Amino acid sequence: MEDFERLLIAQDATLREALRQIDRLAIIDVDLFVVASGKLIGSLSEGDIRRALLDGSPIEASVDIAVHRNFTYFTTAKPSVEDLAKCRRRKIRYVPVVGESGEVTDIIDVETYRPLLPVEAVIMAGGRGERLRPLTDNCPKPLLKVGSKPIIEHNIDRLAAHGVRNIHISVNYLGYMLKEHFGDGAEKKVSINYVDEDKPMGTIGAITRIESFSEDTVLVMNSDLLTDIDIADFYEEFQDASADMAVAASSYKIDIPYAVLEVNSRNEVVSLKEKPRYTYFSNAGIYLIKKSLISMIPAGQRYDMPTFMDELIMAGRKILTYPIRGYWLDIGRIEDYMKAQEDIRHLKL
């Protein structure tokens, strides 16, 4: 984090000085990190100071009497997704990065830090966008602007912000326009490879035209989605569940305006619910897949994701559902596109 030195305090500083420093930071539940001769020796919270004062220590005493020496730290500036998840579960927000000599080289804000995910992405962008005509007569649907930039660019930027560096884009209709717009991805600090569909290949068939993947996990998503999905959290849950595939899902609520009778097999009423609300989860078009499973997809053929999922279920593979907790919109119709133009004004993507 920038200006991480503001969270550091010298071992010979007083408890009063530490309280003033915490007050100036104006951050809830923040820890200071105590250094001696340039080396990190422990952490110090407002609670640590309060306990020292209650035990009778004078407020002008050195912070050394209150320092907490059993603390969490990283030895790399690029902690793993698993290490970050552990800190979040323990409600630890700021974690120092310690060098070989014991010095603090950085402090990571676990709440905002985005790790480099060991994920390779495939964006399906070959569709014609018939339902969005005439907007798509001379422009591929992924390049239609939502706000200040194309739909697909919102997704590429989101992937890049989460540390996804290798991105494949399947193209067909007006695909040359996508190639001209993004090039090799250098401006986005990513590597973009294009997969040409000389014929429609369904919602996942084009993935077989990618010669190899550098990561063991592949993220597949449709190009016409507008979403603020937390890709790192999606990946963490996929890993924690030891799943073969994870499917992001959007909630869909149905309100019944009448009382609903529930009956048994003999048509006897067993319960009555007054104007109930039912919640269903629909496929959001974003998936995490183990690379090893891609060999199950027939090469060079039209193949759709529902068929692939059915095959995995029949093979006894574990498929995880991941509910999107934020915003999601499938821009498939003119009405959806107009809604996206309004929603983007209030979103932080």
What would the pLDDT profile of 87-103 be if each residue is shown by its tens digit? 888 888 899 999 988 99
Contact of 117 with 97, CB cutoff 8 Å: no
Cα(189)–Cα(177) distance, integer angstroms: 20
- Residue 214, pLDDT > 80, answer yes
Residues 221 and 315 in one domain: yes
* 181: CB partners within 8 A, 6+ apart: 143, 150
Which of 90, 109, 128 delimits the end of a domain? Answer: 109
Which of 51, 74, 109 delimits the end of a domain? Answer: 109
Residue 339 is assigned to a structural domain of this protein: yes
Q: What is the pLDDT of residue 2?
A: 65
Cα(331)–Cα(321) distance, integer angstroms: 22
Residues 207 and 280 in one domain: yes
Residue 157 is assigned to a structural domain of this protein: yes
Q: What is the number of domains present in the chain?
A: 2
Domain at 269, CATH number: 3.90.550.10
Strands 166-171 and 119-125: parallel
In 3-state terms, what secondary structure has residue 25? helix
In the DSSP assignment, the letter for residue 103 is: -
Instruction: Write out the residue range of the structural domain in which residue 98 sits.
Output: 4-109
Token pair, residue 126, equals: 């070959």
Q: What is the pLDDT of residue 1?
A: 60
Residues 250 and 325 in one domain: yes
- Residue 339, pLDDT > 70, answer yes
Residues 104 and 150 in one domain: no
The model's pLDDT over 27-84, given as tens digits with 9 standing for 90+, comes to: 877 889 999 988 999 999 899 999 999 999 999 999 999 998 888 999 888 787 778 8
Name the H helices within the chain: 15-25, 46-54, 81-89, 151-161, 175-182, 231-240, 305-314, 334-343
Which of 68, 84, 109 delimits the end of a domain? Answer: 109
Residues 170 and 269 in one domain: yes
Positive or negative: CA dihedral 328, 287, 308, 171: positive
Residues 144 and 77 in one domain: no
Cα(40)–Cα(54) distance, integer angstroms: 26
Residue 277 is assigned to a structural domain of this protein: yes
Residues 67 and 127 in one domain: no
Positive or negative: CA dihedral 173, 177, 178, 180: positive
The model's pLDDT over 188-209, given as tens digits with 9 standing for 90+, comes to: 888 999 998 888 888 899 999 9
Residues 140 and 77 in one domain: no
The mean per-residue pLDDT over the stretch 300-316 comes to 92
- Residue 334, pLDDT > 80, answer yes
Residues 239 and 139 in one domain: yes
Residue 100 is assigned to a structural domain of this protein: yes
Residues 242 and 286 in one domain: yes
Domain at 59, CATH number: 3.10.580.10
Residue 114 is assigned to a structural domain of this protein: no
State which H helix or E strand residue 108 sits in. Answer: strand 104-109
- Residue 268, pLDDT > 80, answer yes
Residues 66 and 134 in one domain: no
Cα(335)–Cα(131) distance, integer angstroms: 10
Residues 136 and 10 in one domain: no
pLDDT higher at 77 or 170: 170
